[in-house]
Structure 1
C-alpha cells in the first residue's frame, strides 16, 4: 500500500487561473490538466465565480471545510453542497459557476475521463473499526480529520488529509479510528470494453 502525506501534495494554479488547487494524486503519474485519466485534488475557493471546464471529464465535488456552495450547472437546478451533504457528481465540461454560502471553502474534486473510466466518492463518519471495500481498480482513502490506524505487519497511521492507496488486489481493508473521524473513499474503475 502507498501512503500519500498531506505535506507532500503538489500545488498548482487552477486551469482558469482563478485560484490554487492541491493535487493529491493523478494518473498517469505526472499528467497535466489536459491529459490525465483520473485526478484527485483539493481546492480553496475564496470567491464566487465560474468553474474551470474540462472536456470529456466527469467530476464529483465534496465540501471539506466552510459553510458550502451553491452550484449553478447548465441544465441542472441549483444545487447546494455543504460538509454533510453527499458528494455531488456532474459533467465537468458544461458551464458551471459557484456561489459561496458563508465565506471561503475547501473542496475535494475527483475527476475521471468519461471515455475510459468512472468513479464514486463516499463520505464515511466512523467512530469504531470498519472494513472498507477496496476491490476497485484504484481505491483512495482520504482521512479528513483525526487519525486512523490500518493494522498491518507495520501498522499505518493516517493523519489529517493524508491518503492511503491500498494494493489493487485487496478486497477490503480494516481501518481503526482513534476517535470520530471522517473519511472519503474514492473508487476508480475502467469502463468495460476499454483498455
Structure 2
C-alpha cells in the first residue's frame, strides 16, 4: 500500500500537501496534486486530487469514469459542454461524466478544486460539506476528509487545514465554524441491499 495507491485503509492516514504527487498540465493552464488513488489491473477504481486551475481551457477526459468537482478556493468556474453548462461554485459539489467534453471558464480568476474521479460501475461516491459544530461517525470506508477551516479532528487527532485524512472507522469532530469536505467511496459489491419480501401476494378478495 503506497501513499498514491490506496485501496481500503483500516485506519486513518494523514497525508500532508508535501506528500501529494504534483504534475503540471500539458497545456500549462493548471497543476494537479494527486492525493491518493486505487487501481486494479492498471485501471483506476478511484482517484483523489486537488487541482489549481489558472485560466480558461479544456478539461481532460476520463472515458468510462465519473467525476465530482468541488471548488475550495476562488469564485468558481463554469463548465461548458454540448450537454449544457454546469456552474461550479465554492463548496458546492458538482457531478458529471468523465467522458464529457468540458471547456472551463473562470468566474473571477484562478481556483482550486477537489476532484474525485471514480469508476461508477464499481464505486458509489459522494462529497459532503460538513460545518461545525458537529460530529460525524464513520463506520465504512474508505472515506477522505479535507480540513478547510477551523479545528477539525479525525479519530481523535487534529487534522490541520490543507491536510487530507484517508481511512475508516472513526469520528469526525468539527468545532464551531469549522469546515471540511467528506469524501465517501463505497464499493458496490459490498453494499447490502434490504431484504425482499418473497411471500406470495394476498389473494383474499
Q: Fold conserved (TM > 0.5)?
A: yes
- CA shift, 1:57, in A, is 0.6
1-structure distance, mates of 2:137, 2:67:
22
Aligned match for 1:59, one of 59, 67, 70 = 67
C-alpha contact (below 8 Å) 1:123/1:185 kept by paired residues: yes
2-structure distance, mates of 1:16, 1:112:
23
Does the alignment pair 1:79 with 2:114?
Answer: no
Query: Normalized against structure 1, the TM-score is what?
Result: 0.82
The answer for the alignment partner of 2:102 in structure 1 is 96
Q: How many residues align?
A: 179
The answer for the alignment partner of 2:16 in structure 1 is 5
2-structure distance, mates of 1:139, 1:57:
19
1-structure distance, mates of 2:112, 2:166:
22
The answer for the alignment partner of 2:5 in structure 1 is none
2-structure distance, mates of 1:151, 1:57:
31
Give unpaired runs (5+ residues) of structure 1. none
Q: CA RMSD in A?
A: 2.3
Query: Normalized against structure 2, the TM-score is what?
Result: 0.78
Counterparts of 1:124-139 in structure 2 under 5 Å?
124-126=130-132, 128=133, 130-139=134-143
Bigger shift: 139-148 or 63-72? 139-148
Higher radius of gyration, 1 or 2: 2
For the residue of structure 2 that corresponds to 1:164, the secondary structure is strand
Does the alignment pair 1:189 with 2:200?
Answer: no
Give unpaired runs (5+ residues) of structure 2. 1-11, 192-205
